[in-house]
Amino acid sequence: MQDVRTVCYGRRMPKVSQEHLDARRREILDGARRCFAAHGYEGATVRLLEAETRLSRGAIFHHFRDKETLFLAVAEDDAVEMAAVVADHGLVQVMRDLRARDSGWLSTQLEVARRMRTDPDFRERWSVRTRTLAAAASGRLERGREAGVVRDDVDVDVLVSFLTLLLDGLVMHRAMELPTDQLDAVLDLVESAVRRG
């Protein structure tokens, strides 16, 4: 039995390190994000994904079962990053960070919204990620309430809904490349609406 090497066509192939596999996966995700941003989910053909990642379809689909799995991985990557920011700094910080987000991230978010509306199977699978983000926001607000900085006259679930609605609107605003010159003042207003007294 072979232990750390694979025999291929009579030759031993070296074992690929986990760091190499992780780096390759990151390359694929970054290229796929650019491809989905430029062409949308339907328009991002395998040929375009190959061109954007500069990898073969075999290399791409070695890491991801199919195009939908790849898209979900891109969107999930964004969701995990966003949930971490929410847990540490709150949803308003995610909104502030949108100014620096590239069009690929924004386009992925819009594609998620479109697929949520048109694809019940996708909506079902994605609802897990939505609940994770809501839980991170809820936890952050509860900690703020315990510290005496978040208002206690409104249910935390209502505050989470308020903030996620604003986030969704801001994503749309940024995706349409509308001006953001008053964004700081608007987000200061949002923060004051959530803060106690």
Give yes or no for a contact between 98 and 170, defined as CB atoms under 8 angstroms apart. yes
pTM of this prediction exceeds 0.95: no
Which of the residue ranges 5-19, 67-81, 131-145, 166-180 would you say has the lowest mean pLDDT? Answer: 5-19
Q: Please report, to the nearest 10 degrees, the dihedral formed by the alpha carbons of residues 45, 48, 54, 59 taken in order.
A: 10
Length of the chain: 197
**Over residues 11-29, mean pLDDT:** 80
Instruction: Locate the domains of the chain by residue range.
Output: 68-194
Maximum Cα–Cα distance for the chain, whole Å? 74
| pLDDT for the residue 98 | 82
Percentage of residues in the chain with pLDDT exceeding 90?
39
CATH number of 68-194: 1.10.357.10
152-191 pLDDT tens trace: 999 999 999 999 999 888 888 887 777 888 888 999 999 9
CA atoms within 13 A on the CB side of 170: 24
- Res 11 pLDDT > 70: no
Distance from the first to the final alpha carbon of the chain:
69
> Of 141 and 99, which is predicted with more confidence?
141
Question: Which of 34-38, 46-50, 142-146, 154-158 has the least mean pLDDT?
Answer: 34-38
pLDDT at 2 over 70: no
Place of tokens 């900085």: 149
pLDDT 10s digits, 100-139: 776 667 777 888 888 888 989 888 888 877 888 889 999 9
Cα 133–chain centre separation: 10
Using the predicted structure, report yes or no on whether residue 54 has a pLDDT greater than 90.
yes
Q: Mean of the pLDDT values across residues 76-89?
A: 86
Q: Percent of the chain at pLDDT above 70?
A: 91
> What backbone torsions phi and psi does residue 54 show, to the nearest 5 degrees?
60, 35
Mean pLDDT, residues 5-27 taken together:
71
